[in-house]
Structure 1
Amino acid sequence: MIVTSRDGAIVTITIDRHETRNALDAQVCTAIREAVEAAAAEADADDPVRAIVITGAGTAFCAGADLSGGVYNSEFIDAHASMLRTVESVPVPVIAAVNGPAIGAGVQLALAADLRVVVPGAVFAVPVVKVGLALDNWTIKRLANVVGGGHARSVLMTARPVGAEEAARIGLANEIGDLDTALELAREISGFAPLTLRHIKTVINDDAARLLPRDEHTELQQKAWYSEDMAEARAAREEKRPPVFRGR
């Protein structure tokens, strides 16, 4: 499910769920969080970890939430949020090696990382408007802070896939390349001053994405999650037909 390896100061965490294209459920989110925490715990050791790379096995980075794995319950929501907070807050740089499609929750995982190295054939997509769900404030603000408000609106409101070249143009991808490229970047960063890197990461992440949602935001999010439209989207998926949304 999760494979962890270390090469010098670099720890690589690989999501290995070929049967689901590395989709996330509560168990996988918990395993990623624990692997990141374990690697980061070595940041101040005698033989320290200086960077973490997260990638997917096979041809997908992460196909999103595993819709067959109970993702509509609080267990997944809590485990997923905890994973994202951990990736964002650990004291060493985290690089997402996006080796293929990153969809929905896969985009969130990539956004939680500090840097994203994207293989040429990869795409990003956040199709919440197609399935009647609502993102948390962190995801929307984080995306806006990474790519700017205009591009964030386009990504979220159109749900159109964003290819690697376009991702690089708007700032969603920091570099174009494969896992070796990501590891090379990690090795470069691992030679820099750790306390300086920690300061940069902390200050950059102390932004509007951390603001608590207002009551209005929470109410609207919950309204979407428990709406008839969301139930319609689930039914349409099972029946292999386009959903018909009615705004209730």
Structure 2
Amino acid sequence: MIRCDRTDGIWTVTIARPDKANSLTLAMLTELAERIEEAGTTGRARAVILTGEGRVFSAGADLDEARAGLATSPVWERLSAAVAALPCLSIAALNGTLAGGAMGMVLACDLRLAVPGAKFFYPVMKLGFLPQPSDPVRMAALIGPARTRLILMGGQKITADEALSFGLVDRIREGDALLNHAREIAADSIAADPDLCAAIKAMCR
């Protein structure tokens, strides 16, 4: 349910459970974390693109597993920490709606691209859980505390256009152009010395 394509230095990691809106199980989250950790260490990826298969990036946690304890599992923080620690450029290519805990890995990326029809929401309070600890911090750094409360406490669904105006996403691209644009953005990083890229990324933090 997780695919990893490694072509020309770009690791494209795809959530592939479209029949379940790419909802995430413990096994899927663990595999995602392992792939991202590998990309940042032994794999030495030159760029990482996170995307989904179908019309939804991810609906968040698989509901059955969430009720059984996945909602509060440390695996979410392991995954977002692995994304944040990547020395190379990381891009979330959001092929559709992003919901719940799946937002953590996306917030940890360097850049976020989305299709026009994507929506963004994180109904964690309604479900009776706290968000993962790093998620509000990263979200507030991107869009400010008030808009973060709008999403986390107000339960609002944000459209792609709103997300762009907020700074939650960086660009909007149609369908097939989404991944192509992510690869275009990554081109300079792939062509450059990886240590130089890592140093520039560290300077931007």
Displacement, 1:200?
A: 4.1
Give 1:221's aligned residue.
none
- How do 1:49-198 residues align onto structure 2 when only pairs under 5 Å count? 49-70=45-66, 72-73=68-69, 77-177=73-173, 178-198=178-198
Displacement, 1:74?
A: 6.4
| % identical equivalent positions | 33
Q: TM-score, normalised by structure 1?
A: 0.74
Q: Distance in 2 between matches of 1:118 and 1:74?
A: 27
- Tell me if the contact between 2:61 and 2:71 (Cα under 8 Å) persists in the aligned partners: no
Q: Distance in 1 between matches of 2:161 and 2:66?
A: 34
Letter in 1 for 2:130: A
Give the CA RMSD over aligned residues: 2.0
Displacement, 1:70?
A: 4.6
Letter in 1 for 2:33: R
Highest Rg: 1 or 2?
A: 1
**Structure 1: runs of 5 or more not aligned:** 44-48, 206-248
Letter in 2 for 1:30: T
- Tell me if the contact between 1:9 and 1:51 (Cα under 8 Å) persists in the aligned partners: yes
Greater CA drift, 137-146 or 188-197: 188-197
Displacement, 1:50?
A: 0.9
- Tell me if the contact between 2:48 and 2:91 (Cα under 8 Å) persists in the aligned partners: yes
Distance change (3 Å), C-alpha of 1:109 and 1:72:
farther
- Tell me if the contact between 1:17 and 1:23 (Cα under 8 Å) persists in the aligned partners: yes
The structure with the greater share of residues assigned to strand is 2
Q: Distance in 2 between matches of 1:76 and 1:133?
A: 8
Q: Distance in 2 between matches of 1:122 and 1:186?
A: 22
Letter in 1 for 2:78: S
Displacement, 1:176?
A: 1.1
Displacement, 1:71?
A: 5.5
Q: TM-score, normalised by structure 2?
A: 0.89
